C-alpha cells in the first residue's frame, strides 16, 4: 500500500538513480519521474496506490498454465496481482492537465492516494485546468468527486471521448455489461451524470489541449482513448489500460486479456500499438505498468518486452 511515509522514504533511492534515462528525479519522494519535454513543459506520474486483483482477471481465457508461468518469471504471484496505478500530470506553463483521477476512497483501500501525491507535490486540486479521461473503469474515474459529491478538480475542464461517455451513461449498459462489472457501470453512470454539464467531448485524432492529441485505442472499453503528447521533438504517449501490464501484454499481446471488455478488439489494438511503439521507440506511460510507469517497448523473440525508464 502506498502511503505518504512510503513516498518520503523512497525518495532518496530514486534521487540516487540520477538522470541516466533522461527522466529527472524531480518530486520522486511523492510519486514517480518527471520527463522534461523542453519549452517549460513536463510530464510526471503520481502514484494512486495499487490494486489487488485475482490472476484470472488478468489472464482471462488465455492458456492458464502458460500465463501463470510467464507471470511467475517476473517474480509475481500469478494467483494475486497488485498492479500500480500511475496517474499522469502534464504541465506546459499554461495548462495543468491530469489524465484520469484515480480510484477515490470507494473502490479499494490500497488505492485512491492521488490527493496525497498532489499534497506532496504542493499542487492544489484547484490548480488543475483540465481533467482528461482514458476510460470509465473505477480505478480511473471514481476519484472524480469529493466527499460532497462535487468535482474534486473544481476549476478544471473535464474531457472524455464521446463514445466512452455515451457507453457509460447509457441506461442499457448496466444490463448488458455482465454481472462481474455491474458495479463498474453503476458507479460510472452516477459520477458522469453528476458532471455531465461540465464535460466536453472529442473524437479520435483531435488535438484537445495544445500539444495533446487523442488516439482511439478501443477494446479495453468501447471508447478507450490514449493520448499523444508532443512538444518540439519530444513525445510521450499516455496509454491508460490498452497495454495493461508488463508481462502478458508484451510477451503475448495477441492473447485475450481478462480485463478487456472486448477481448478480440483489445488484442488487435495492443498488437498494432506495440508494433508502432517499438518501431518509433516512443516513450509511453502505462497506468498499471510498474511505478512510475515510464518505458519503451522493444521487440524480443517475435514479441515484445517492456523496458522501464525510471
**Domain range spanning residue 231?**
4-12+25-308
Identify the residue with better confidence: 14 or 228.
Answer: 228
| CA dihedral of 300, 304, 309, 310, whole degrees rounded to 10 | -110
The total domain count for the chain is: 1
- Cα dihedral 279/280/283/289 (nearest 10): -20
Mean per-residue pLDDT over the chain, rounded: 90
Q: Strand pairing partners for 34? A: 24, 44
Mean pLDDT, range 79-99, rounded to an integer: 97
Does the structure show a pLDDT above 90 at 33?
Answer: no
| pLDDT at residue number 233 | 86
Instruction: Give pLDDT, residue 41.
Output: 94
Residue 73 has pLDDT above 50, yes or no: yes
What is the CATH classification number for the domain harbouring 279? 3.60.15.10
How buried is residue 266: exposed, middle or buried, by Cβ count under 10 Å (0-12/13-18/19+)?
Answer: buried
* Domain membership flag for residue 286: yes
**Is pLDDT of 285 > 90?**
yes
Q: Residue 98: which pLDDT band, with cuts at 50, 70 and 90?
A: very high
Greater confidence (306 vs 16) lies with: 306
Q: pLDDT per residue over 205-214, tens digit each?
A: 999 999 999 9
C-alpha cell at 213: 492529441
In a domain, 169, yes or no: yes
The answer to whether 96 and 126 have CB atoms below 8 angstroms apart is no
The model carries a pTM of: 0.90
Asked, for residue 17, whether it belongs to a domain, the answer is no
28 — pLDDT class (breaks 50, 70, 90): very low
- Is residue 19 scored above 70 in pLDDT? no
175 located within any domain = yes
Band of residue 31 on the pLDDT scale cut at 50, 70, 90: low
% pLDDT > 70, the chain: 89
In angstroms, the Cα distances linking 56 to 24, 72, 74, 138, 180 are: 36, 14, 17, 18, 13
On the question of pLDDT at 304 being above 90, the answer is yes
Position 18 in a domain: no
For 168-230, give the DSSP string: HH-TTHHHHS-GGGHHHHHHHHHHHHHTGGGEEEE-TT-EEETTEEEEE-TTSSTT-EEEEEE
- For residue 164, is it within any domain? yes
Share of the chain above pLDDT 90, in %: 85
| CA atoms within 13 A of residue 122's CA, in its CB half-sphere | 4
Q: List, for residues 220-248, the tens digit of each pLDDT value.
A: 999 999 999 999 889 999 999 999 999 99
Q: Give the Cα separation of 111 and 45 in Å (integer).
A: 15
Kindly state whether residue 20 falls inside one of the protein's structural domains.
Answer: no
In this prediction, residues 113-133 reach a mean pLDDT of 95
The answer to whether residue 19 is domain-embedded is: no
For the cut 90, the answer to whether the pLDDT of residue 20 exceeds it is no
Instruction: Check if the beta carbon of residue 164 is closer than 8 Å to that of residue 133.
Output: yes
Phi/psi at 97 (nearest 5 deg)?
A: -115, 130
User: Phi and psi at residue 173, in whole multiples of 5°?
Assistant: -60, -40
Amino acid at each position: 500500500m502506498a502511503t505518504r511515509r512510503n513516498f518520503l522514504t523512497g525518495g532518496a533511492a530514486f534521487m540516487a538513480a540520477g538522470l541516466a534515462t533522461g527522466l529527472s528525479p524531480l518530486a520522486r519522494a511523492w510519486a514517480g519521474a518527471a520527463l522534461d519535454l523542453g519549452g517549460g513543459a513536463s510530464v510526471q506520474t503520481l502514484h494512486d496506490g495499487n490494486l489487488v486483483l485475482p490472476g484470472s482477471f488478468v489472464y482471462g481465457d488465455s492458456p492458464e498454465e502458460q500465463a501463470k508461468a510467464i507471470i511467475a518469471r517476473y517474480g509475481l504471484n500469478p494467483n494475486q496481482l497488485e498492479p500500480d496505478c500511475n496517474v499522469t500530470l502534464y504541465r506546459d506553463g499554461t495548462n495543468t492537465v491530469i489524465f484520469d483521477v484515480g480510484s477515490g476512497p470507494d473502490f479499494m483501500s490500497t488505492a485512491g492516494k492521488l490527493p496525497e501525491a498532489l499534497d506532496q507535490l504542493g499542487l492544489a486540486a484547484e490548480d488543475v485546468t483540465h481533467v482528461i479521461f482514458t476510460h470509465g473503469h473505477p480505478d480511473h474515474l471514481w476519484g472524480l468527486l469529493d466527499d460532497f459529491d462535487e468535482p474534486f478538480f473544481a476549476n478544471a475542464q473535464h474531457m472524455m471521448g464521446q463514445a466512452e461517455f455515451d457507453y457509460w451513461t447509457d441506461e442499457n449498459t448496466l444490463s448488458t455489461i455482465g454481472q462481474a462489472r455491474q458495479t463498474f457501470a453503476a458507479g460510472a453512470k452516477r459520477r458522469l451524470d453528476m458532471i455531465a454539464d461540465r464535460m466536453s467531448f472529442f473524437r479520435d485524432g483531435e488535438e484537445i489541449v495544445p500539444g495533446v492529441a487523442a488516439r482511439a485505442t478501443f477494446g479495453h472499453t468501447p471508447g478507450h482513448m490514449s493520448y499523444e503528447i508532443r512538444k518540439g521533438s519530444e513525445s510521450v504517449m499516455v496509454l491508460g489500460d490498452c497495454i495493461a501490464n508488463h508481462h502478458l501484454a508484451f510477451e503475448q499481446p495477441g492473447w485475450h486479456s481478462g480485463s478487456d471488455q472486448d477481448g478480440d478488439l483489445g488484442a488487435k489494438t495492443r498488437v498494432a500499438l506495440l508494433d508502432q511503439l517499438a518501431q518509433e521507440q516512443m516513450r509511453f506511460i502505462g497506468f498499471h505498468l510498474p511505478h512510475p510507469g515510464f518505458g519503451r517497448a522493444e521487440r524480443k523473440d517475435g514479441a515484445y518486452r517492456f523496458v522501464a525508464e525510471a
